[in-house]
Amino acid sequence: MILLGTIVNGVCIIVGTLLGRFLQTIPEKMKETVMYGIGLAVMALGLQMGFKSENFLIVIISLVIGAVLGEWWALEDKLGAVGKLLEKKMGSAGTGSIAQGFVTATLIFVIGAMAIIGALDSGIRNDHNVLYTKAIIDGFTALILSTTLGIGVIFSVIPVVLYQGTIALFATQINQVVPQELMDVFIVEMTGTGGMMIFAIGLNLVGLTKIRVANLLPSILVVAIIVAIMHFFPAEIM
């Protein structure tokens, strides 16, 4: 079953969020400290991912162009509007922002190499081990996030399943079209670029900044374009 890994990933996010809801009775000061702890851990993860880039110029160019595109398309506002709509439907304005939980969790769960590598393994080899590992990590992350950001975290399962499921379903076609060498370089540089976005999420969680991280998402597309150009036209670039 091609989508088994993606489904397990989604289930773990749901279970983690629901378990986290039982821990929401902890004191506010404790919640605040937990949030800072999460933010610091997310920042460390982002830096670790960022340092995996083998050509940081690609990361810089991708983030700059991606930021311009993201602001132009107003992705943060659109994603936030979805969260606000969910908040309105749930009738929950008081206990934590559903919009914030939805947006933050979505960005954390979607950005990263494991989602792409795992989905490709599921679709091409019917091997779900990478997504099973990601499911466990995401489940614990959802548990921790939901203690401070609330039930909004659970709605991140929708974009996660759609994103990974689409890659898994078209994995065979992607594998036939994209050379393995190109895919390897893309994953490395996408990890580096995604790491910077994860680091920005951590900064937001600890309250140091208000970076519109969703507006940086087009950077992943820019990475793919730059890497493809460098792969197919190396002589012209040199």
Please give the torsion angle defined by the CA atoms of residues 24, 159, 64 and 180, in that order, rounded to the nearest 10 degrees: 120
Q: Give me 224's structure tokens.
A: 């793919």
Q: Which string of DSSP letters, residue by residue, matches 49-109? A: HHTT-S-HHHHHHHHHHHHHHHHHHTHHHHHHHHHHHHHHHHT-SSSS-HHHHHHHHHHHH
Which of 59, 61, 64 is closest to 49 using CA atoms?
59
Total-model pTM: 0.86
The amino acid present at 143, given as its one-letter code, is L
SS3 23: coil
pLDDT for 92: 56
**Residue pLDDT, tens place only, 102-159:** 999 999 999 888 999 999 999 999 999 999 999 999 999 999 899 888 889 999 999 9
d(CA 48, CA 25): 33
